[in-house]
């Protein structure tokens, strides 16, 4: 049996993380599942967190920020250590934390015109919670480049640096 997790664009960042942690717990606890497919619903894989919300987090107290970081780390670790094979299928935008989700999957494919970016860097935030997984997926040199520049790259480049195993024209992604 295959379990498909669809990322919902209408939920807040904090709720998305909690929703995904709970979904992964269900997947882990279901012995009938043999494969997990992670993909976005609609035009984009995931635009990541709302940057305005991330900027506001600078005004939150230490404990609240620590709790948020721990929850993101729990999500990434749970996905990376899931006991069934995982595949991310990427279309459209995959920004910020979405690169962490993709990096945690065993395999990833995407469209040639998908757009990737560690966009939180533009507002002075380091992608610390996802960095270990991104570095493992694309290598230290490429990770430095994209975490320092917030440069966008497409699906073909993502394939070249190892984030995607394959990239296809958008019409052939399915």
Does 120 qualify as catalytic in the annotation?
A: yes
Report the distance separating Cα 54 and Cα 125, nearest Å: 8
Task: From the candidates 120, 140, 166, 174, give the one annotated as an active-site residue.
Answer: 120
CA 97/CA 95 separation, integer angstroms: 6
Q: Which helix (H) or strand (E) holds 79?
A: helix 62-80
Paired strand residues for 107: 87
Is there a contact between 126 and 147 (Cβ–Cβ < 8 Å)?
yes
- The answer to whether the CB of 131 falls within 8 A of the CB of 143 is yes
Instruction: Tell me the catalytic residues.
Output: 120
């Amino acid at each position: 049996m295959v379990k498909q997790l669809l990322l919902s664009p209408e939920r807040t960042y904090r709720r998305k993380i909690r929703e995904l942690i709970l979904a992964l717990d269900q997947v882990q606890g279901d012995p009938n599942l043999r494969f997990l497919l992670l993909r976005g619903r609609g035009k984009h894989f995931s635009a990541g967190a709302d940057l305005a919300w991330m900027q506001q987090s600078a005004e939150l107290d230490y404990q609240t920020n620590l709790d948020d970081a721990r929850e993101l780390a729990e999500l990434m670790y749970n996905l990376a250590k899931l006991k069934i094979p995982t595949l991310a299928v990427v279309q459209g935008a995959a920004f910020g934390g979405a690169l962490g989700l993709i990096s945690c999957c065993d395999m990833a494919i995407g469209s040639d015109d998908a757009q990737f970016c560690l966009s939180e860097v533009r507002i002075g935030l380091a992608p610390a919670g996802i960095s270990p997984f991104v570095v493992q997926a694309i290598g230290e040199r490429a990770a430095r480049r994209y975490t320092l520049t917030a440069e966008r790259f497409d699906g073909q480049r993502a394939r070249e640096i190892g984030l995607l195993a394959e990239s296809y024209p958008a019409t052939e992604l399915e």
